Structure 1
Amino acid sequence: MTTVSIITPVYNDFPGLRETVDSLAALSTEIDWEHVVVDNGSTDGTRERAERYVADQLGGTVLLEDEIQSSYAARNAGVRHSGGDVLAFVDADMTVPEGWLEDALDAFRAADADYMGCNVELEVPDGPSLAARYDHHSGFPVGHYLEHQRFAPTCCLFVRREVFADVGLFDHRLTSGGDKEFGNRVDEAGYDLHFADDVTMHHPVRDSIRALVRKDLRVGRGLCQLQRYHPDRYGTPGIPPRPSGVKQPDPGLERRERLAFGALETALTGVRGIGYYREYLARKRGRELGGIPSLAE
């Protein structure tokens, strides 16, 4: 029987983690699975609260990765300290429906998959702000990413353990873009990338301009880091590439909304540029963290 380890990194977000844990606790399945939460050095008490809550709700494990501030380092710790044949990555603040794990594993088996991304639906609150409407419209185009960019986001990803043993773990040096780098590495190793469009997970929208700015600063840093650590694949640092994704406003929108989304996208492109050049100018000051780790390390 296939066993599944669900791995969730978290940093200063116990409310989001609680939402995720509650949805996992409601799963009804005969599948042998475990939940491994990895705290990435939270400073607000998330780890202590998580240890109690995860144990009470799921009997799961809470690990600590505080040497490297990176969600990818946290995910790597989860991979190393879990026992499942298949690793499922679910971010804190995401929720899943009751039949999600059964449906996902059925799709994984039917496709004889080694690497699979799921569909992600963004949830919009009542009376959504401009930021929330923009984030929802921009969407989470996982199918597009897999077809054109050859990766799936790590918030909705299933990977067979043997893949990590073959190509290595996530690149923990990256602030953002580690999902793309890993997916591209898996693709280059000859594995098939599969999209389970009928397996749906849920993610809240970012509902403030501040949240969108924080994200795009991080994305900009990640773009520079991809070039720094993987120039053969992404080019040398100096000129930021346009990040992947479907971001252009839909012509079918009302004119006012289309203009507002276009203006916001232009501003956020500038924010990504700021993040990129901040990283470019600071890249020589930080300590080096070595290369991509292997599963055996």
Structure 2
Amino acid sequence: LVVDNGSTDGTAEVVTEALADLPDGRLVIGPSAASFVDPRNLGLELAAADRIAFCDADDVVADGWVQAMADALGRHELVTGPLELRSLNPSHVLHGDHADRWLVGPPQDDTFRPYAMGCNLGIRRSAVERLGPYDPGLESGHDKELSWRYQLAGVPLHFEESAVVHRRVRTTPGGAFRQHVRYGRSNARLYRRFRAHGMRRSSIARAVLVLGWGVLSSPLLIGSAHRHRWAEHIGLRVGRLAGSFRHRVVYL
């Protein structure tokens, strides 16, 4: 099942051609408004199976991903797997252990719990019927919200080592900055929602240090790798600042 949410890159044509060999496959035209959540919830609504696995159009699933997800969802209600970054991305966008840390476990928010990224997430319909779909009110962070809500309700997150997705990241500083601003805004909203359940406030001292580093290290004076890193770190803090004002919390 492919939900096409207003693509302009020929996705619909590629899918239509592929469906000639997949009689049970479907192409659904999703809502036209730009949204990360609405097409996923539409997919949940229209999928016929009890075991549902999500991936994104700009990533590549590894051989055996579908079978690995299907097998894992036979034993668990919420599943994720390794995210491999080196094969699809230039080296200048991979910082430190960033390229390998998601191969050995799920992403871990340093102020709360691990979560499944939306590009590699498996869920059983029975869990959705009990606990609900993605929150349509979030512009970003919907995968964190669902993962944490389910874990708090007693559904553990299972990491399936053989369910590998090759993930593509933003390769331009502008794209990375805009993406991380969205992440930051959602961080503040998630903090407001989950602080009563133990989510910790982010470190204000660290935020001040990062912003100071951003001012002192102008992206116009340093190489492309540093510009990309600068865009991610400063975009996240700018987003958190904006989200803190919007949601009346302090999460920097």
Range class of TM-score, shorter chain: 0.7 to 0.9
Give yes or no for contact 1:88–1:156 (8 Å, CA) kept in 2. yes
Aligned to 1:214: 178
Q: Once the two structures are superposed, what CA deviation does each residue of 1:164-207 show, in whole Å capped at 9, x if it has no partner?
A: 00000101111211111101111111122211123322123432
Aligned to 1:123: 86
Give 2:3's match in structure 1, choosing from 21, 27, 38.
Answer: 38
Measured in 2, the distance between the counterparts of 1:55 and 1:241 equals 53
What are the equivalent positions in structure 2 for 1:267-278 lying under 5 Å apart? 268-278=232-242
- Structure 1 residues 234 and 276, CA gap change in structure 2 (3 angstroms): farther
- Structure 2: 5+ residue stretches without partners: 208-223
TM-score (norm. length: structure 1)? 0.63
1:76 shift after superposition: 0.4
Q: Once the two structures are superposed, what CA deviation does each residue of 1:76-108 show, in whole Å capped at 9, x if it has no partner?
A: 010001111101001112222332222332334
Residue identity matched to 1:215: Q
Give yes or no for contact 2:188–2:240 (8 Å, CA) kept in 1. yes
What are the equivalent positions in structure 2 for 1:131-142 lying under 5 Å apart? 131=93, 133-134=94-95, 137-139=98-100, 141=102
Moved more, 117-126 or 45-54: 45-54
Measured in 2, the distance between the counterparts of 1:180 and 1:221 equals 13
1:232 shift after superposition: 3.6
What are the equivalent positions in structure 2 for 1:1-297 lying under 5 Å apart? 36-42=1-7, 44=8, 49=13, 52-53=16-17, 55-56=19-20, 58-59=22-23, 60-66=25-31, 69-109=34-74, 112-124=75-87, 128=90, 130-131=92-93, 133-134=94-95, 137-139=98-100, 141=102, 143-145=105-107, 149-227=113-191, 232-233=196-197, 265=229, 268-280=232-244
Measured in 2, the distance between the counterparts of 1:149 and 1:191 equals 13
Greater share of residues in strand: 1
Moved more, 53-62 or 83-92: 53-62
1:116 shift after superposition: 0.8
- Structure 1: 5+ residue stretches without partners: 1-35, 244-259, 285-297
Residue identity matched to 2:5: N
Measured in 1, the distance between the counterparts of 2:205 and 2:44 equals 31
Q: Between the two proteins, what is the percent identity of the paired residues?
A: 26
Give RMSD over aligned pairs.
Answer: 3.9
Measured in 2, the distance between the counterparts of 1:218 and 1:187 equals 24
Give yes or no for contact 1:223–1:240 (8 Å, CA) kept in 2. no
Residue identity matched to 2:42: A
Measured in 1, the distance between the counterparts of 2:206 and 2:29 equals 34
- Structure 1 residues 149 and 82, CA gap change in structure 2 (3 angstroms): same
3-state SS, counterpart of residue 155 of structure 1: helix
3-state SS, counterpart of residue 78 of structure 1: helix
Measured in 2, the distance between the counterparts of 1:175 and 1:216 equals 12
Aligned to 1:291: none
TM-score (norm. length: structure 2)? 0.72
3-state SS, counterpart of residue 121 of structure 2: strand
- Structure 1 residues 137 and 223, CA gap change in structure 2 (3 angstroms): closer
